[in-house]
Amino acid sequence: MTIRVTTDVTTCIPKEITDKNNIEFIEFYLNINGKPTKELSELDRETFMNELSDMNPFPTSNFPSPQDYLDAFQKILDDGYDEIFHIGLSPNISGALNSAKVAAKKLKEAKITIYNSGIMAPSQGSMVLIAVKLLNQGKTHDEVIEYLESIKYNIYGAGLSINFDILFKTGRVKKSAGLTVFSSLMKLKPLFELNFETGVTGIGGGVGFKGAIKKIVQNIEEKTDEGLTYDLIMTDAGAPELLKKLEEAVKKVRKIKNIHHWPMVSMMIHTCGKGSVMATVCPTLDEV
Protein backbone atom coordinates (compact mmCIF):
# COMPACT_ATOMS: atom_id res chain seq x y z
CA MET A 1 0.00 0.00 0.00
CA THR A 2 1.43 3.37 -1.04
CA ILE A 3 0.57 6.76 0.45
CA ARG A 4 1.31 10.21 -0.94
CA VAL A 5 1.36 13.25 1.34
CA THR A 6 0.18 16.52 -0.18
CA THR A 7 0.28 20.04 1.21
CA ASP A 8 0.46 23.73 0.33
CA VAL A 9 3.49 25.54 -1.07
CA THR A 10 3.01 28.03 1.76
CA THR A 11 4.61 25.52 4.15
CA CYS A 12 7.96 26.81 2.81
CA ILE A 13 9.39 23.27 2.73
CA PRO A 14 12.38 23.36 0.32
CA LYS A 15 12.25 21.32 -2.87
CA GLU A 16 15.08 19.01 -1.87
CA ILE A 17 13.07 17.95 1.20
CA THR A 18 9.80 17.45 -0.69
CA ASP A 19 11.62 15.43 -3.35
CA LYS A 20 13.33 13.26 -0.75
CA ASN A 21 10.08 12.63 1.15
CA ASN A 22 7.80 12.31 -1.88
CA ILE A 23 5.62 15.27 -0.85
CA GLU A 24 3.33 16.83 -3.45
CA PHE A 25 2.76 20.60 -3.43
CA ILE A 26 -0.53 22.27 -4.37
CA GLU A 27 0.22 25.76 -5.66
CA PHE A 28 -1.48 29.04 -4.86
CA TYR A 29 -1.81 31.88 -7.37
CA LEU A 30 -0.54 35.44 -7.40
CA ASN A 31 -2.37 37.74 -9.79
CA ILE A 32 0.31 39.87 -11.44
CA ASN A 33 -0.93 42.50 -13.90
CA GLY A 34 -4.24 40.65 -13.99
CA LYS A 35 -2.68 37.30 -14.85
CA PRO A 36 -3.04 34.36 -12.41
CA THR A 37 0.48 33.01 -11.89
CA LYS A 38 1.35 29.82 -10.00
CA GLU A 39 3.67 30.88 -7.20
CA LEU A 40 6.20 28.07 -7.60
CA SER A 41 6.27 26.73 -11.16
CA GLU A 42 5.46 29.96 -13.00
CA LEU A 43 7.09 32.65 -10.84
CA ASP A 44 10.73 33.42 -10.14
CA ARG A 45 10.94 34.02 -6.39
CA GLU A 46 13.98 36.30 -6.45
CA THR A 47 12.59 38.53 -9.18
CA PHE A 48 9.21 38.75 -7.48
CA MET A 49 10.78 39.57 -4.12
CA ASN A 50 12.95 42.34 -5.55
CA GLU A 51 10.21 43.92 -7.67
CA LEU A 52 7.22 43.53 -5.34
CA SER A 53 7.38 46.93 -3.62
CA ASP A 54 7.28 48.74 -6.97
CA MET A 55 4.53 46.66 -8.59
CA ASN A 56 1.49 48.68 -9.65
CA PRO A 57 -1.15 47.43 -9.38
CA PHE A 58 -0.07 45.54 -6.31
CA PRO A 59 -0.56 41.78 -6.82
CA THR A 60 -3.49 39.95 -5.27
CA SER A 61 -3.63 36.28 -4.34
CA ASN A 62 -5.97 33.34 -4.99
CA PHE A 63 -6.13 29.95 -3.31
CA PRO A 64 -6.36 26.77 -5.44
CA SER A 65 -9.79 25.83 -6.75
CA PRO A 66 -11.47 22.47 -6.14
CA GLN A 67 -10.48 21.59 -9.72
CA ASP A 68 -6.80 22.26 -8.91
CA TYR A 69 -6.99 19.80 -6.04
CA LEU A 70 -9.05 17.33 -8.05
CA ASP A 71 -6.46 17.34 -10.84
CA ALA A 72 -3.61 16.86 -8.35
CA PHE A 73 -5.35 14.07 -6.44
CA GLN A 74 -6.43 12.27 -9.62
CA LYS A 75 -2.90 12.32 -11.02
CA ILE A 76 -1.54 10.83 -7.79
CA LEU A 77 -4.10 8.04 -7.95
CA ASP A 78 -3.37 7.48 -11.65
CA ASP A 79 0.31 7.16 -10.75
CA GLY A 80 -0.56 4.12 -8.66
CA TYR A 81 -0.86 5.50 -5.13
CA ASP A 82 -3.54 3.91 -2.95
CA GLU A 83 -4.00 6.70 -0.40
CA ILE A 84 -3.58 10.46 -0.07
CA PHE A 85 -2.98 12.33 3.17
CA HIS A 86 -3.43 16.08 2.67
CA ILE A 87 -2.32 18.56 5.32
CA GLY A 88 -3.94 21.92 4.60
CA LEU A 89 -3.48 25.38 6.04
CA SER A 90 -5.91 27.00 8.45
CA PRO A 91 -9.34 27.94 7.05
CA ASN A 92 -8.98 31.13 9.10
CA ILE A 93 -6.36 32.17 6.56
CA SER A 94 -7.60 30.75 3.27
CA GLY A 95 -10.42 28.81 1.63
CA ALA A 96 -7.94 26.29 0.24
CA LEU A 97 -8.85 23.58 2.76
CA ASN A 98 -12.48 23.70 1.64
CA SER A 99 -11.37 23.33 -1.99
CA ALA A 100 -9.43 20.21 -1.01
CA LYS A 101 -12.47 18.78 0.80
CA VAL A 102 -14.71 19.38 -2.22
CA ALA A 103 -12.21 17.62 -4.49
CA ALA A 104 -11.84 14.66 -2.13
CA LYS A 105 -15.61 14.14 -2.03
CA LYS A 106 -15.66 13.78 -5.80
CA LEU A 107 -13.21 10.90 -5.58
CA LYS A 108 -15.51 8.74 -3.48
CA GLU A 109 -13.72 5.45 -4.10
CA ALA A 110 -10.31 6.78 -3.06
CA LYS A 111 -8.96 6.93 0.50
CA ILE A 112 -8.18 10.63 0.91
CA THR A 113 -7.71 12.24 4.32
CA ILE A 114 -7.99 16.03 4.55
CA TYR A 115 -6.37 17.26 7.76
CA ASN A 116 -6.72 20.85 8.95
CA SER A 117 -3.34 21.82 10.38
CA GLY A 118 -4.91 24.95 11.87
CA ILE A 119 -1.80 26.89 10.96
CA MET A 120 0.45 27.82 8.02
CA ALA A 121 4.06 28.40 6.95
CA PRO A 122 6.88 26.37 8.59
CA SER A 123 4.59 25.55 11.54
CA GLN A 124 2.42 23.66 9.05
CA GLY A 125 5.54 22.40 7.29
CA SER A 126 6.86 20.80 10.47
CA MET A 127 3.54 18.95 10.85
CA VAL A 128 3.89 17.68 7.28
CA LEU A 129 7.34 16.25 7.98
CA ILE A 130 6.12 14.64 11.21
CA ALA A 131 3.22 13.05 9.30
CA VAL A 132 5.55 11.69 6.63
CA LYS A 133 7.77 10.12 9.27
CA LEU A 134 4.82 8.51 11.05
CA LEU A 135 3.29 7.17 7.84
CA ASN A 136 6.67 5.69 6.89
CA GLN A 137 6.62 3.94 10.28
CA GLY A 138 3.35 2.29 9.29
CA LYS A 139 1.00 4.45 11.32
CA THR A 140 -2.60 4.75 10.12
CA HIS A 141 -4.18 8.05 9.07
CA ASP A 142 -6.07 8.20 12.38
CA GLU A 143 -2.92 7.54 14.38
CA VAL A 144 -1.10 10.33 12.53
CA ILE A 145 -3.93 12.77 13.22
CA GLU A 146 -4.00 11.78 16.89
CA TYR A 147 -0.26 12.43 17.20
CA LEU A 148 -0.41 15.78 15.39
CA GLU A 149 -3.26 16.92 17.60
CA SER A 150 -1.26 15.93 20.70
CA ILE A 151 1.84 17.98 19.80
CA LYS A 152 0.59 20.89 17.71
CA TYR A 153 0.39 23.35 20.61
CA ASN A 154 4.12 22.80 21.18
CA ILE A 155 4.76 24.36 17.75
CA TYR A 156 5.17 28.12 17.61
CA GLY A 157 6.32 30.61 15.01
CA ALA A 158 6.79 34.37 15.02
CA GLY A 159 8.50 36.92 12.83
CA LEU A 160 8.89 40.50 11.74
CA SER A 161 8.51 42.69 8.68
CA ILE A 162 10.93 45.54 8.07
CA ASN A 163 8.18 48.19 7.85
CA PHE A 164 4.45 48.74 7.39
CA ASP A 165 4.58 49.44 3.62
CA ILE A 166 3.57 45.97 2.41
CA LEU A 167 0.99 45.62 5.17
CA PHE A 168 -0.62 48.87 4.00
CA LYS A 169 -0.67 47.67 0.39
CA THR A 170 -2.22 44.31 1.22
CA GLY A 171 -4.82 45.99 3.42
CA ARG A 172 -3.83 43.94 6.46
CA VAL A 173 -3.16 47.21 8.28
CA LYS A 174 -5.26 50.30 7.55
CA LYS A 175 -3.03 53.16 6.48
CA SER A 176 -3.26 56.44 8.32
CA ALA A 177 -1.07 59.51 8.42
CA GLY A 178 -0.63 59.14 12.17
CA LEU A 179 0.52 55.53 12.00
CA THR A 180 2.81 56.22 9.05
CA VAL A 181 4.58 59.07 10.85
CA PHE A 182 4.66 57.30 14.22
CA SER A 183 6.05 54.03 12.83
CA SER A 184 8.70 55.94 10.88
CA LEU A 185 9.80 58.07 13.83
CA MET A 186 9.89 55.12 16.22
CA LYS A 187 11.45 52.78 13.62
CA LEU A 188 8.75 50.25 14.43
CA LYS A 189 9.03 46.77 12.96
CA PRO A 190 5.66 44.98 12.63
CA LEU A 191 5.54 41.64 14.45
CA PHE A 192 3.35 38.63 13.73
CA GLU A 193 2.81 35.16 15.12
CA LEU A 194 1.30 31.91 13.90
CA ASN A 195 -1.19 30.35 16.27
CA PHE A 196 -3.95 27.75 16.24
CA GLU A 197 -6.72 30.18 17.17
CA THR A 198 -6.53 32.69 14.30
CA GLY A 199 -3.87 31.18 12.03
CA VAL A 200 -1.77 34.33 11.81
CA THR A 201 -2.09 37.56 13.76
CA GLY A 202 -0.20 40.75 14.47
CA ILE A 203 1.47 41.06 17.87
CA GLY A 204 2.39 44.73 17.82
CA GLY A 205 5.72 46.21 16.90
CA GLY A 206 9.29 46.33 18.07
CA VAL A 207 11.44 49.45 18.20
CA GLY A 208 14.15 48.72 15.66
CA PHE A 209 15.42 45.26 14.81
CA LYS A 210 16.90 44.75 18.26
CA GLY A 211 13.62 45.53 19.98
CA ALA A 212 11.67 43.36 17.51
CA ILE A 213 13.92 40.34 18.06
CA LYS A 214 13.64 40.80 21.82
CA LYS A 215 9.83 40.71 21.62
CA ILE A 216 9.82 37.63 19.38
CA VAL A 217 12.08 35.78 21.80
CA GLN A 218 9.91 36.82 24.74
CA ASN A 219 6.88 35.35 22.95
CA ILE A 220 8.75 32.11 22.29
CA GLU A 221 9.66 31.88 25.98
CA GLU A 222 6.06 32.51 27.03
CA LYS A 223 4.40 30.15 24.56
CA THR A 224 6.74 27.14 24.45
CA ASP A 225 7.95 24.59 27.00
CA GLU A 226 11.44 25.06 28.36
CA GLY A 227 11.57 21.34 29.16
CA LEU A 228 11.27 20.23 25.52
CA THR A 229 13.97 19.81 22.90
CA TYR A 230 13.09 21.61 19.69
CA ASP A 231 14.06 21.86 16.06
CA LEU A 232 14.37 25.45 14.86
CA ILE A 233 13.21 26.43 11.39
CA MET A 234 14.52 29.81 10.21
CA THR A 235 12.78 31.48 7.27
CA ASP A 236 13.65 34.72 5.50
CA ALA A 237 12.98 36.89 2.46
CA GLY A 238 16.46 38.05 1.52
CA ALA A 239 17.66 38.98 5.02
CA PRO A 240 20.33 36.43 6.03
CA GLU A 241 22.13 38.66 8.54
CA LEU A 242 18.94 39.57 10.39
CA LEU A 243 17.90 35.91 10.28
CA LYS A 244 21.17 34.90 11.94
CA LYS A 245 20.65 37.42 14.76
CA LEU A 246 17.17 36.05 15.42
CA GLU A 247 18.48 32.49 15.31
CA GLU A 248 21.19 33.21 17.88
CA ALA A 249 18.66 34.89 20.17
CA VAL A 250 16.26 31.93 20.05
CA LYS A 251 19.07 29.46 20.78
CA LYS A 252 19.73 31.27 24.06
CA VAL A 253 16.26 30.55 25.46
CA ARG A 254 15.37 27.07 24.16
CA LYS A 255 17.18 23.76 23.75
CA ILE A 256 17.64 23.34 19.98
CA LYS A 257 18.60 19.98 18.44
CA ASN A 258 18.53 20.79 14.70
CA ILE A 259 18.44 24.06 12.76
CA HIS A 260 16.88 24.29 9.30
CA HIS A 261 16.93 27.23 6.88
CA TRP A 262 13.92 27.45 4.56
CA PRO A 263 13.48 30.33 2.08
CA MET A 264 10.26 32.30 2.51
CA VAL A 265 7.96 31.49 -0.43
CA SER A 266 6.45 34.10 -2.74
CA MET A 267 2.99 34.00 -1.15
CA MET A 268 4.44 34.89 2.25
CA ILE A 269 6.72 37.52 0.74
CA HIS A 270 3.59 39.03 -0.81
CA THR A 271 2.17 39.34 2.72
CA CYS A 272 5.28 40.23 4.75
CA GLY A 273 7.61 41.89 2.24
CA LYS A 274 11.28 41.64 1.38
CA GLY A 275 13.51 41.61 4.43
CA SER A 276 11.06 39.66 6.60
CA VAL A 277 12.30 36.91 8.90
CA MET A 278 10.58 34.22 10.98
CA ALA A 279 11.57 31.67 13.62
CA THR A 280 9.56 28.49 14.17
CA VAL A 281 10.17 25.98 16.94
CA CYS A 282 8.71 22.47 16.87
CA PRO A 283 9.41 19.34 18.93
CA THR A 284 12.46 17.75 17.35
CA LEU A 285 11.71 15.27 14.58
CA ASP A 286 14.47 13.06 15.96
CA GLU A 287 12.09 11.99 18.72
CA VAL A 288 9.12 11.14 16.48
**pLDDT for the residue 127:** 98
162 in Cβ contact with 190 (< 8 Å): no
The domain boundary residue, chosen from 151, 179, 196:
151
Residues 241, 217 share a domain: yes
Is the model's pLDDT at 166 over the cut of 90? no
H-only helix segments in the chain? 15-21, 45-51, 66-78, 96-106, 121-136, 141-151, 165-170, 177-186, 208-223, 240-251, 266-272
Residues 123, 185 share a domain: no
Whether 197 is in a domain gets the answer yes
Cα distances from 287 to residues 126, 261, 273, 278, in angstroms, run: 13, 20, 34, 24
**pLDDT for the residue 128:** 99
Whether 33 is in a domain gets the answer no
Average model confidence (pLDDT) for the chain? 91
**pLDDT for the residue 200:** 81
Sign of CA dihedral 201, 207, 208, 213: negative
Residue whose C-alpha is closest to residue 23's, from 2, 12, 7, 9: 7
Whether 104 is in a domain gets the answer yes
Is the model's pLDDT at 90 over the cut of 80? yes
Q: What is the pLDDT averaged over residues 164-179?
A: 50
Q: What band does 171 get if pLDDT is binned at 50, 70 and 90?
A: low
The domain boundary residue, chosen from 123, 151, 179:
151
Cα distances from 199 to residues 76, 89, 117, 196, 286, in angstroms, run: 28, 8, 10, 5, 26
Supply the range of the domain harboring residue 73.
3-28+63-151
With a pLDDT cut of 70, the percent of the chain lying above it is 91
Residues 198, 87 share a domain: no
Residues 238, 201 share a domain: yes
What is the layout of strands, in order, in the sheet containing 3-8? 23-26, 3-8, 83-88, 111-116
Number of Cβ within 10 Å of residue 262's Cβ equals 19
- How far is it, in rounded angstroms, from Cα 30 to Cα 201? 21
Residues 165, 144 share a domain: no
Cα distances from 266 to residues 99, 161, 172, 210, in angstroms, run: 21, 14, 17, 26
Residues 241, 176 share a domain: yes
Is the model's pLDDT at 149 over the cut of 60? yes
Q: What band does 199 get if pLDDT is binned at 50, 70 and 90?
A: confident
Is the model's pLDDT at 114 over the cut of 60? yes
With a pLDDT cut of 90, the percent of the chain lying above it is 81
Whether 75 is in a domain gets the answer yes
Is the model's pLDDT at 182 over the cut of 50? no
Domain count, the chain: 2
Whether 22 is in a domain gets the answer yes
User: What are the two backbone dihedrals, phi and then psi, of residue 220, each rounded to the nearest 5 degrees?
Assistant: -65, -40
Whether 244 is in a domain gets the answer yes
**pLDDT for the residue 202:** 82
Is the model's pLDDT at 187 over the cut of 50? yes
Who has greater pLDDT, 195 or 31?
Answer: 31
pLDDT tens digit sequence for 233-266: 999 999 999 999 999 999 999 999 999 999 999 9
Q: What is the pLDDT averaged over residues 196-214?
A: 88
pTM of the prediction? 0.92
Question: Residue 263 belongs to a domain with what CATH number?
Answer: 3.30.1180.10
**pLDDT for the residue 278:** 97
Whether 53 is in a domain gets the answer no
30 in Cβ contact with 270 (< 8 Å): yes
- How far is it, in rounded angstroms, from Cα 247 to Cα 241? 10
Out of 12-16, 39-43, 164-168, 201-205, least confident range = 164-168
**pLDDT for the residue 177:** 37
**Residue 66: is the preceding peptide bond cis (ω within 30°)?**
no
